[in-house]
Amino acid sequence: MNNFLSVLGSPRAGRVSPTFDIDTILDDPFFSWGKTSFSDDKVRFNTTNKQFTCEIDLPGVKKDDLKITQEDFQIFISANRKITSSGGSKEENYTRSFSFDAQKFNVSTLKAKLEDGVLRITIQAKEVPKKEVKEISVL
């Protein structure tokens, strides 16, 4: 044990520990998960009386690499992105689906917008018909 410690040196002897730049380590292809990954996607849902909103963080995805389809009351999203680093490049695929209440929301108003790496999908609520109150005259 004494030989092992003498090779390493004493931490109290004024030796300096090596420092590493964490960004350099994460860019290494050995760490395939990288700094941002689709597996760490952030999804936010918000439902109000006026609309349904879904926001998904998709950093590095371009509009041309994104496909959104809607069938009945489900929305399907797929995306591809290519990540290039000093160690090479790799391609990642992303898929997600979710459903919404077709009774409450008007599918024909579905809109999607990709801006600054955030996909925002909105669907407007169906208008609830107002109850009509009629006064009936008594004969």
43-52 confidence digits (pLDDT tens)? 898 888 889 8
**Does residue 35 have a pLDDT over 80?**
no
**Is the residue at 122 inside a domain?**
yes
50-75 confidence digits (pLDDT tens)? 898 999 988 888 899 999 999 988 99
CATH number reported for the structural domain that contains residue 59 in this entry: 2.60.40.790
Residues sharing a CB contact under 8 Å with residue 78, sequence separation 6 or more, in sequence order: 66, 67, 93, 94, 95
**Is the residue at 22 inside a domain?**
no
- Number of domains forming the structure of the chain: 1
**Is the residue at 13 inside a domain?**
no
Q: Domain span at residue 42?
A: 38-126
* The model scores a pTM over 0.85: no
Sheet holding 51-57, edge to edge: 43-47, 51-57, 118-124, 111-115
